[in-house]
Structure 1
Amino acid sequence: MPLPIPSILTHPSFPTVISLPQPTRKGKAPVATTRGGPFDIAWEVYGEGNIRVVWVMGLNAPGMAWHRQSRYFGVDRGHIYSSLVFDNRGVGNSDKPLLRYTTTEMARDLLEVLSHVGWTGEERRIHLVGASMGGMIAMEFALLAPHLLASLTLQSTAAKLIDPLPWYTTLVNRVTMFLPKPLPLRLQHTQSVLFTPTFLSSAPSPPTTDPTFPTNADLFIAEELWRRAHLPITPWANYLLQGLAVSGHCISADRLKSLGEVLEGRVKIRVITGDEDKLVAWTHSKEIVEGMEEGRGELVMERGCGHVVHWERGGERGYNVAMEEYFGVGEWAWGRGREESARGESG
C-alpha cells in the first residue's frame, strides 16, 4: 500500500523531492493581445547550447513537470541544448483567463512566447515535443509554423479523441473526471490512470532523492504534494477550460495529411505511445501515423508503459537518451521506431 500523505510529508526526502535547476533565462511573455488578452505566459530556458528544444505539457500540468528533461538537457548538457519549458494558459505561474480555450489558441500562445524569447528568426531550429494535450498543441503549432521545426515528437496524444464506449458511459466518465474529489482520492485516481500498476509498485529508478521513497506511487504523490506547496493551484474553472480544449481538439483527416505535407519530408515526426495507456489509447498514435502521408512519421510503441512515457521510461538508455540521439543523429531512435512499429503491426 502507498504511504499515507502524513508519512510522505514528513519523509526526509520530501523537501527535495523536486530539485529544480536554476534556469538560464526566465520571464513572462504577453500573448493574445488581439485574441482576448493580453495575458502572460511564464517561461524558462535551461542551457545555452545551439540545439533548441521546446517541451509542451498536458492537461493541468505546469512546465516544471518536465523537470527530469530540464536537468538532463538544460543542465547536464546545457552546453549542447537550450531547453524551453512554459506554463500553458490556466496553470502554474501563467495567467488564468476565463475565456474559451482551444488547442489552436494555445499553439498561437506558444508561437508568441517563442517570438518573445527570440526563437522565431531562423528556420528548422526547434525540436518540438508535446505530451498528451501538449501533443495536440504541438500538432496545431506544426500546421501554424512548420518552417520553424527541426523535428516533431507527439507523445501519448491524439488527432481527435475517439472513445469506444457508448456515449452515455463517456458522458458519465467525463463528468466524474471533472468533479471535485478529496485530495487522497484524487491522487490515487490520477496515478492509476497515468501509470501502469507495475511501475507504481516498483522502486524509483535513479537519479532520485536519497533516501528515496519506497515506490513510484509514493514518489508521484510526493511530487504532486510538492507542486501544491510551491506552485499556484489551478482554479477549477481553468482546469475545466483546458479539459474542454482537449475534448474539442480535432485534426481532421485532411489536416492530418497536410501535416506531413507542410513539413515537406525534411522534418522527422516521431509518435510515441505506451501500449498500456489508459488515458489516450495507443490506437490514437497509430491513427496519427497512418493519417499522414506515407513515410512521414514513425510509431514508437513502448511496451508495458502507460501515459507518462518520459517518466516510466526514465531508466538507463531510456527516454532522455533516446530523445538526445533523436535530436542529434537520431539513428537509434529512428531505427527503433521502425522496429517497434513492425512489432505492433504483427502483434
Structure 2
Amino acid sequence: MTPKPPPPRIPTAAETLKHPAFRTAIWRLKPDRKGLAAVGNGRGGPFRISWEIHGVGPIKVVLIMGLGALKSAWQRQTLHFGHERRDEYSVLLFDNRGVGESDKPFMRYSTSEMALDIAELLADPAVGWLPSFPLPSSPSDPPAARTLHVVGTSMGGMIAQELAVLIPHSLASLSLIGTAAAVENTTTFTENIMKIASMILPKGGDRSMADATRSIFAHEWISLPDDVHLPDPATTPGCLPPFADSLSSTEGTGGNDDKYLRFDTNAQRFVAQELHKQMDPAGGRFKLKGFILQLIAAGWHRKSPEQLAAMADAVGRERILIMHGVEDGMITIPHGHKLIDYVKPEKGLVLEGLGHAPLLERWKWFHELLTEHFLAGEKLSGRG
C-alpha cells in the first residue's frame, strides 16, 4: 500500500505577519457606490447591511459570500468584473448579517431570512436593482425582467437557493458553488464533531488555521506559488495604492509602497487574508457571536428535492450552474451530487483536484466560466 502523503505545511501567523506582502493582502478597490441599507423591518430589525457596487456596466452580478467571510473575500472577482471590465459589469458585494461592516443582531439566523435581507437590499432605492420587494405576482414572465446574475458559494450558495425561490423571474442566471441542499454527516461521527468544533473555536491558533486551510483547499494547490493576478494602482481603474492615506486619495508615493506584492504560496495568501479579518484595527468585523449564528443558519438549511425542482422550473434549468470539487473538505462531494440530482441544471460540474473555493483555486478558469454563463443568461433574456 502506498503510504499517505503528509499534509501540506501551512505558514504560521508569525511567518505571514513578517512577510512584505502582508500589508498589501487586501486590495483597495474603490467602489462606485456604497452604503448601509436598512433591512429586516418587521423581522426583528431594522438592521443595516453594508454594500458596495463596483463597475458601471449593464450586466448586474450579485455575489453572496459564505460562512464568516467578508465581502473582500471576493476581491479577485471584484477586480476582474468590477474594475478591469467595469464598463461591461456592475458587481454588488455585501457583508451578510453577522459579519463585516453589517450589523450583527443577536437573534436566530436562517438562510431564508438572509435571502430576504438580500432581496430588500436589492430593492433599496440606493441600490435599485429590483423595482420593489415583495414583487407583484404576475402570471407572465417577461425575459427583460431577468436582470440579475446571482453567484453564491458555500453558505452563500444556500442563501442563493432561497433567493431564487423568492425572486426566480428576476434571475438571468444562478451559480451555486460548493454548496448543498442540506448539510449532512457524510463522514464518521467523530470526524464531523471535530470539524464543527474546529469551526466554532476562534481561529487565532496556527493549528486551527492550518486545519481550516487543509479542509477548504485541494492539497496540491496549497503549496504552489502564489499565482494571483495582482491589481496595479498605475493602470487598474479604481485601484488605490495599498498605503494611500484615505479612500479619497488617488496618488501614491511612486515607490515600492505603491505596489501589491505576492506571497510565497497560495496558502500564505489565504492565511494573510484571514489574519487581516481577525486583526481588524477598527474591531468588530469578525466576532465569534456572528460566526456561530451564521453557522446555525447553514446547519439548519433544508431544501427538499421537490422545493429545488420547483425553484429550477421557475428560474429555468438552462440558466443554472452547479459546481462542486471532489476534494472539498468543508461540504463533501456527496452534497454536490445530491444538489445536481435534485436541481438537474443544464451545467452540473463535479471536478477532480478542486476543493471548496474555485474562486481562489482556479480563479482564471472560474472567471472564464462565469463570463460564459453570464453571457448565456443575457442572451436568454434577449440582451445578447
Q: TM-score, normalised by structure 2?
A: 0.80
Give the distance between the partners of 1:168 and 1:224, measured in 2 at CA. 26
User: Which residue is equivalent to 2:28?
Assistant: 20
Which residue of 123, 130, 134 maps to 1:120? 130
Choose 272-281 or 81-90, whichever is displaced more.
272-281
How far 1:165 sits from its partner (Å)? 3.4
**Deviation readout 1:247-275 (Å, 9 max, x if unpaired):** 1000012101111122245x510001111
Name the aligned partner's letter for residue 366 of structure 2: Y
Q: Answer whether contact 1:158 1:284 (CA < 8 A) is retained.
A: yes
For 1:220, the equivalent position in structure 2 comes to 270
Q: Take 1:324 and 1:124, find their aligned partners in 2: how far apart are those partners?
A: 17
Q: Is structure 2 residue 215 aligned with structure 1 residue 189?
A: no
2:157 partner amino acid: G
**How does 1:1-347 map onto structure 2 within 5 Å?**
1-116=9-124, 117-121=127-131, 123-167=145-189, 170-180=192-202, 182-208=204-230, 211-230=261-280, 232-265=284-317, 268-292=319-343, 294=344, 296-315=345-364, 318-329=365-376
- For the pair shown, the structure with the greater C-alpha radius of gyration is 2
Which structure shows the bigger proportion of residues in helix conformation?
1
- What's the secondary structure of 1:234's corresponding residue? coil
Inter-partner Cα distance in structure 2 for 1:58 and 1:74? 20
2:242 counterpart residue number? none
Q: 1:2 to 1:278 in 2, by over 3 A?
A: closer
Match of 2:246 in 1: none
Cα pair 1:20 1:67 within 8 Å, conserved:
no
Structure 2 CA distance for partners of 1:302 and 1:26, relative to 1, 3 Å: same
Q: Structure 1 residues 322, 330: CA separation in 2 closer, same or farther (over 3 Å shift)?
A: farther
Q: Distance in 1 between matches of 2:166 and 2:377?
A: 25
Are the counterparts in 2 of residues 274 and 306 from structure 1 also a CA contact under 8 Å?
yes
Q: What is the TM-score when the length of structure 1 is the normalising length? A: 0.88
Deviates more, 1:164-173 or 1:208-217: 164-173
- Cα RMSD, aligned residues only: 2.0
Distance in 1 (CA, whole Å) between partners of 2:215 and 2:316 is 36
Q: Deviation of residue 162 (structure 1)? A: 1.8
Instruction: Show structure 2 runs of 5+ residues with no match.
Output: 1-8, 132-143, 231-258, 379-384
Return the alpha-carbon distance in structure 2 between the equivalents of residues 128 and 233 of structure 1: 24
- The alignment-based identity, stated in percent, is 37
Distance in 2, Cα, partners of 1:264 & 1:199: 34
CA distance in 1 between partners of 2:154 and 2:99 (Å): 15
Which whole-Å CA distance do the structure 2 matches of 1:270 and 1:4 have between them?
36
Moved more, 182-191 or 268-277: 182-191
CA distance in 2, matches of 1:13, 1:171: 35
Q: Which of 115-124 and 48-57 deviates more? A: 115-124
Q: Give the equivalent residue in structure 2 for 1:336.
A: none
Equivalent position amino acid for 1:98 in 2: F
Identify which of structures 1 and 2 has the higher relative contact order when contacts are C-alpha pairs closer than 8 Å and 6+ apart. Answer: 2
Q: Deviations over 1:281-322 (max 9, x none)?
A: 222222122113x5x44211222010011100024xx11122
Residues 28 and 210 of structure 1: is their aligned pair in 2 closer, same or farther, counting only changes over 3 Å? closer
Deviation at 1:226, TM superposition (A): 2.3
Count residues in correspondence: 326
How far does the alpha carbon of each residue in 1:38-58 deviate from its partner, in whole angstroms, 9 at most, with x for none? 100000000000000000000
Residue identity matched to 1:286: H
Change (3 A) 1:290 1:151: same
